[in-house]
Amino acid sequence: MLRFFLRRVLLGIPVLVTVATLTFLIMHLVPGGPFDSDKILPPEIIANIEAKYHLDEPVAIQYLLYMKQLLQGDLGPSYKYIGRDVSDILRDTFPVSFTLGMCAVLVVLGLGVPAGVISAYWKNSLLDRSILLFAAMGISVPSFVLGALLVWIFSHQWHLLPPALWEGPRYMILPAFALGAGFAGYIARLTRTTVLDVLASDYIRTARAKGLTEFNILLRHVLKNAMYPIVSVMGPLTAGLITGSFVIEFIFSIPGMGRFFITAVTNRDYPLIMGVTLVYAVLIVVANIVVDMIYGWLDPRVSVK
């Protein structure tokens, strides 16, 4: 297990280096720089600013300087939020995005799994068909459309929940739902398929013959065995939730990493773009490792070598 873990962590490093390199290249390949768009400054001042941030060096040197800095754990200063380091900004915004992501995971599992089980158990019933239709709709609805709809209904029409900001649990409900509902549709379908497979197996018949209650059968026998495929897609799914969250952060004015990424891109705040992209990449790598480990722990048949 430990060897598996170490191996996966080591394999993650080249991925992160590539992400850093590619992002760096994309940013610098295009003409123009972070200090172009401001009001017209005297050339000496621009030269000074560029010298300060090493922007006057060749791109290759800038890259090496950045990577050296990065190895020392320093993400550099933000170009636009003067006086703030990228790590400071990330320290403030990461917990917000992380909380939002975890709430969304709860929505995905809390809605998707029960819906899938119900759908499979009463296969072809009206309930099953409605759940399948809702799942198809959930998969097809963009999160910003759902977010806008939720804001309009629950904030503007019924005044039940706040339409924006991030100041407590009540502020989390709408964003988490808007972010998670689409993925819940995927999970509902997947759960339905696997539960149907499990329900048809012999040991379920045995469990019924032993006289276990249907509820016990579903919970102990069916759900436990149907969890494996669900766990195995949670890795890419968590990654999707993480990178998808910036739209939701934009709609609900949530002070998370994603919103800073959007402004960083429009401002060409190179260090901030790099910082946020790298954190996202690390999160994706970590999510995949964690999910694989849970999978190996749940299902001893899968060897984690």
Partner 1 sequence: MNLSSKISSGFLFILLLAAVLAPWVAPYSYQAQDMLNILAFPGSEHWLGTDRLGRDLLSRMIYGARVSLFVGVFSTVLALFIGTIYGTLSAYIGGRTDNLMMRVVDVVFALPDLLMIILITVLMGRGVIGVFIALTLVSWVTIARLVRGEVLRIKEYPYIMAARALGASHYRIMLREIFPNILGILVVTLSFRVPVAILAESTLSFIGLGIAPPASSWGTLASDGWTAIKFYPHLILFPSLAIFFTILSFNFLGEGLREFLDPRSAKNG
Residues near partner 1, by CB under 8 A:
14-15, 18-19, 22-23, 26-27, 29-30, 136-137, 139-145, 148-149, 151-152, 156, 189, 192-193, 196-197, 239, 242-244, 246-247, 250-251, 261-262, 265-266, 273, 276-277, 280-281, 284-285
User: What is d(CA 227, CA 299) in angstroms, rounded to the nearest whole number?
Assistant: 10
Minimum CB–partner distance for residue 42 and partner 1 (Å) = 27
**Nearer Cβ to partner 1 (45/153):** 153
Minimum CB–partner distance for residue 284 and partner 1 (Å) = 6
**Nearer Cβ to partner 1 (103/120):** 120
**Nearer Cβ to partner 1 (67/265):** 265
**Nearer Cβ to partner 1 (35/144):** 144
Minimum CB–partner distance for residue 116 and partner 1 (Å) = 11
Minimum CB–partner distance for residue 13 and partner 1 (Å) = 12
The position carrying tokens 């959007």 is 262
Could you tell me which residues are beta bridge partners of residue 85? 77
**Nearer Cβ to partner 1 (216/266):** 266
Contact of 100 with 249, CB cutoff 8 Å:
yes
**Nearer Cβ to partner 1 (17/302):** 17
Angle at 246 between CA 241 and CA 248, to 5 degrees: 80
Minimum CB–partner distance for residue 228 and partner 1 (Å) = 17
Minimum CB–partner distance for residue 65 and partner 1 (Å) = 21
**Nearer Cβ to partner 1 (140/213):** 140
Minimum CB–partner distance for residue 281 and partner 1 (Å) = 6
